[in-house]
Chains A and B, each alone.
Chain A
Amino acid sequence: MAPPLLSVRDLSVRIRSGESIVHAVNDVSLDVEEGEIVGVVGESGCGKSTMVKAVLRLLAPEAEVPSGSAVLAGSGDLLALDHKRLRQVRGAHVGYVSQNPFGALNPIYRLDRQFHNLVAAHRKGTSRGESRRMAAKMLDAVGIAGPDRVLDGYAHQLSGGMAQRVVIAMSFLLDPRLVIADEPTTGLDVTVQRQILDMVAELARADGRAMLLVTHDLGVVAQYCRRVVVMYAGRVVESGPVADVFTSPRHPYTQALLGAVPRPGQPLERLPGAVPDLRVLSEGCAFAPRCRSAFDACSVRPEPTPGGDGRTVACHLEKEPADAAAR
């Protein structure tokens, strides 16, 4: 079997914040295979963006990565690459759609120039006309009518959803094998969202391209992702094929997450209890204080345990379901 396109192992990130240290990402492992879209879901603040930025080496200076690797097939461990090589890989082999599209665009250059700079950095000697054609084609693919008016303009002239699409177009411009996208479609209406996801799905199906997709939209995960990674308090608590995880979630957090999907006419479900404080590295299961099924074993942290069916769950109930149910 071919090795995964992206293989993240035991990745941790700590962020210095004043007097304290935020344990934003803890021992995260995940794989993305060729031709698949993998969803990453979890509470706001659970470390999704930090994890993604660590893989792409885009963390703020106050953050450090004490352990872990992120191997991109054919490019090596992204976390160990020197800067020159990193610049070659980023953009050309792995694309990135940041959560904040305006932050990713330069406010003072016209957009055609930004597209050109991106292409020229990786393909020396590309003419402006050539990069403009590439950009226009990509903008068209993400549903922007009249790409010229966008290319001849500036970022602040775009609507939120258009800026998001420009960044998506940039991330796909050089045909990278993997795109890591952090909530790329939150600002898009559902018809445009589907157009873009259909495009990504087609690239995955036909050309083996892959995407790691951070999203709060469980509908997107259900309909477009092959596998899903569920994070809580900086850790992966459950992962596996979407078809299985979404129909029979095993981790109590995953169950609560899926239970919060709004049903018309019913009050919105909320997870009771406080959002975990990532400044303390809990010895037990971080979800235990909010978990309906917590029992004494939960004072020791459960390890992510592969079940053989492609699913991994980090919960003591997995080992002693009968036992726990009896309590």
Chain B
Amino acid sequence: MPPLVELAGVNKTFRRPGQAPIHALNDISLTMNEGETLALIGESGSGKSTLGRIILRLLEADSGTVRFEGTDLSALPDREMRYLRSRLQAVFQEPYESLDPRLSVGSIVAEPLRVHEPGLSQAELRERVLTCLEQVGLPPDAAGRKPGALSGGQQQRVGIARAIITRPQMIVLDEPTSSLDLSVRAHILELLAELQRELGLTYLFISHDIHTVEYVSSRIAVMYLGRIVETGTVREVFDDPRHPYTRALLSARLSTDPRESPPQLRLTGDIAAPTTSHHGCVLAGRCPLVTAECTAGPVRPRALTGDHEVACVRADETPDLLAPAVSR
């Protein structure tokens, strides 16, 4: 069986008249299997949301292929594309941005159903919406309220309700829990896990919250400046991070105990702008392990043991050379 989603050599550049083009994604290859949760973590602005939007077909890749269950999506006729859209849903980073402030919560949640199951009666629609609101922990009277009357956390629940109402196959969750407090977050994560078990959902989970990622995902991909620099199972990446950026990222986690502050691996040097093209490794300008080889040519991901892949010429030496060790 082909993987559910397969990206190969995907590039995306945003061009603006009279200005330097922004290389948002460079040579991205990635597979996702049915029923798994793949977490996408990494630098802010590194292309995570762009990648999510390309999978959702909200954006067109400049080159490379995106396959869904083995079918190249760019070749699909419109009607099938529309069906596919109902199988692919999203919860976005900014609830305020994605919820129409003029509509009631009930209509917002019902919207995808109106589009994809137009045969439903008013009563059926209402029923589905209320069930859905209950599933995400909103009171029934939320249906009549406007998003503006809800707190950030409650708005995020509306977004999740809207995504699950069409019973999709895959959901791109772009920082779905970052505005929620820990307790509400735990409820939502549990709900997502439950839905995944029941419906065999596949999640692309974009997040900056490393604790959450560790809890929810089976595999992880780490992005830096438009590239995937490391992939592997949660344990491979968290217990034995081999890319210097991954190590820096994981070591920057903050302890909730004011008495302890574990050592942080800091990357110094200027952060490169996505307007520059890179011949070699994207981290070279800031990497403590940089050698001549790093800038000599493209640094492609290579396989270590198991599922672990790292785009670093010194991946084998990283753990010995880079203190602090960051595995727990």
Residues of A within 8 A of B (CB): 15, 17-18, 22, 41-45, 49, 60, 99-100, 102-103, 143, 145-146, 149, 152-153, 157-162, 165, 183, 186-194, 216-223, 242-243, 246-247, 256-258, 260-262, 264, 268-271, 275
Contact = CB atoms under 8 A, between A and B. Distances in A.
Contacts of B212: 262
A216 B179 contact: yes
Interface string B221-257: 0000000000000000000000000001100111111
A99 B148 CA distance: 13
A42 B19 CA distance: 44
B186 interface: yes
Contacts of A161: 44-45, 208
Contacts of B181: 41-44, 216, 257
A264 B214 CA distance: 8
Nearest to B92: A160
A200 to B, nearest CB: 14
B43 A189 contact: yes
A156 B86 CA distance: 25
B211 interface: yes
Contacts of B184: 43-44, 275
Contact of A191 (B43, B182, B255): B43
B183 to A, nearest CB: 4
A18 to B, nearest CB: 8
Contacts of B175: 160, 186-187
Given A149-B19, A160-B94, A268-B215, A49 B328 contact: no
B62 to A, nearest CB: 17
Contacts, number: 177
A269 B189 CA distance: 11
Contacts of B180: 44, 216
Contacts of A260: 182-183, 186
Nearest to A191: B252
6 contacts: A43-B183, A44-B152, A49-B152, A191-B248, A217-B254, A223-B258
Contacts of B152: 44, 49, 99-100, 183
Given A100-B94, A160-B94, A189-B41, 10 more contacts: A43-B183, A44-B152, A158-B45, A159-B45, A160-B93, A187-B178, A216-B185, A218-B182, A223-B258, A246-B256
Given A60-B148, A162-B44, A219 B208 contact: no
A246 B267 contact: no
A157 B49 contact: no
Given A145-B272, A222-B254, A246-B257, A187 B214 contact: no
Contacts of B197: none
A222 B255 contact: yes
B208 A271 contact: no
A222 B256 contact: yes
A258 B183 CA distance: 10
Given A17-B149, A159-B49, A218-B256, A152 B42 contact: no
B318 interface: no
A143 B271 contact: yes
Majority secondary structure, B binding face: loop
A161 B178 CA distance: 12
A268 B189 contact: yes
A146 B275 contact: yes
Nearest to B41: A189
A159 B274 CA distance: 12
Nearest 10 pairs of A and B residues by beta carbon: A44-B153, A161-B44, A146-B273, A219-B254, A268-B186, A45-B151, A260-B182, A190-B252, A145-B271, A145-B273
Interface in B9-44: 14, 16, 19-20, 22, 41-44
B120 interface: no
A222 B258 contact: yes
B256 A183 contact: no
Contact of B183 (A17, A157, A187, A269): A269
Contact of B16 (A157, A190, A247): A157
Contacts of B20: 149
Nearest to A43: B181
B198 interface: no
B174 to A, nearest CB: 8
A143 B269 CA distance: 11
A101 B252 CA distance: 24
B65 to A, nearest CB: 24
> Which one of B149, B248, B270 has the greatest number of beta carbons of chain A within 10 Å?
B149
Interface in B240-296: 248-249, 252-259, 261, 264, 267, 270-276
B320 interface: no
Given A43-B181, A149-B19, A160-B94, A223 B215 contact: no
B145 interface: yes
A250 B144 CA distance: 39
A189 B249 contact: yes
B182 A262 contact: yes
A49 B183 contact: no
Contacts of A42: 181
A63 to B, nearest CB: 11
> Which one of A103, A223, A247 has the greatest number of beta carbons of chain B within 10 Å?
A223
A260 to B, nearest CB: 4
A132 to B, nearest CB: 15
Contacts of B145: 17-18
Nearest to A24: B151
B190 A261 contact: no
Contacts of A269: 182-183, 186
Nearest to B271: A145
Given A189-B208, A191-B267, A159 B258 contact: no
Contacts of A158: 45
